[in-house]
C-alpha cells in the first residue's frame, strides 16, 4: 500500500518505507516506520527496534514516501541524553496524557518524565532517534 502513490495518500502521511542494507548480511531490508515531518524538511523516526543497528555508520538509505522511492541520508542518534531531549520535547508538545499513545511509548508517571527518567528509559528500552534527510541523498 505504501509503495503506490494513489494508495499511500492516506496512510503515507504517517508511515514511510525505510530501505536499508543489512550491516552483516548485505541483504536489502524494508521496514514500515512511523514518522513526523520536521520544520527543516527532515523526517523524524522514533524506534527501539533492533533493525536500527543497520544504520550505525551507514547513512545511505532510501525511503518510499507517498509512493515515491527516494534516496536519503539517515542519522541514528543513540546517545541517551540526546534521545531523552527529543522525547521530552515531543511529550511536551503532545501533552503527557496523549504522548504515550501518539509516540508508542508507556509513560508511568502522571506528568512529563524528567530528562533523567527519559535517559534511563533510553538505555533500558533501547530508545533511539533517526533523522532522515531527503535533500541530501547519498554522498
Structural domains of the chain in order of their starting residue, each with its CATH number = 8-133 (2.30.110.10)
5 contacts 66 by C-beta, under 8 angstroms: yes
Q: How many CA atoms lie within 13 A of 103 on its CB side?
A: 25
- pLDDT at position 13 is 62
Average pLDDT over residues 30-41: 93
What is the layout of strands, in order, in the sheet containing 28-34?
28-34, 15-21, 60-65, 68-77, 128-133, 43-47, 36-37
Distance CA 68, CA 51 (A): 22
Measured in whole angstroms, the distance separating CA 103 from the mean position of its chain's CA atoms is: 10
Helix, strand, or coil here: 32? strand
Tell me the pLDDT band of 76, cut-offs 50, 70 and 90.
Answer: very high
Closest CA to 18 of 52, 50, 56: 52
Tell me the pLDDT band of 139, cut-offs 50, 70 and 90.
Answer: very low
Amino acid at each position: 500500500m505504501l509503495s503506490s502513490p494513489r494508495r499511500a495518500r492516506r496512510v503515507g502521511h504517517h508511515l514511510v518505507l525505510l530501505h536499508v542494507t543489512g550491516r552483516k548480511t548485505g541483504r536489502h531490508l524494508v521496514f514500515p516506520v512511523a514518522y513526523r515531518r520536521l520544520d527543516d524538511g527532515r523526517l523524524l523516526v522514533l524506534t527501539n527496534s533492533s533493525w536500527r543497528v543497520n544504520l550505525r555508520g551507514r547513512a545511505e538509505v532510501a525511503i518510499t514516501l507517498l509512493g515515491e522511492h527516494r534516496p536519503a541520508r539517515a542519522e541514528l542518534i543513540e546517545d541517551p541524553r540526546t534521545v531523552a531531549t527529543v522525547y521530552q520535547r515531543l511529550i511536551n508538545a503532545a501533552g503527557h496524557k496523549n504522548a504515550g499513545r501518539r509516540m508508542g511509548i508507556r509513560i508511568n508517571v502522571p506528568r512529563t518524565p524528567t530528562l533523567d527518567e527519559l535517559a534511563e528509559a533510553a538505555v533500558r528500552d533501547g530508545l533511539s532517534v533517526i533523522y532522515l534527510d531527503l535533500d541530501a541523498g547519498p554522498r
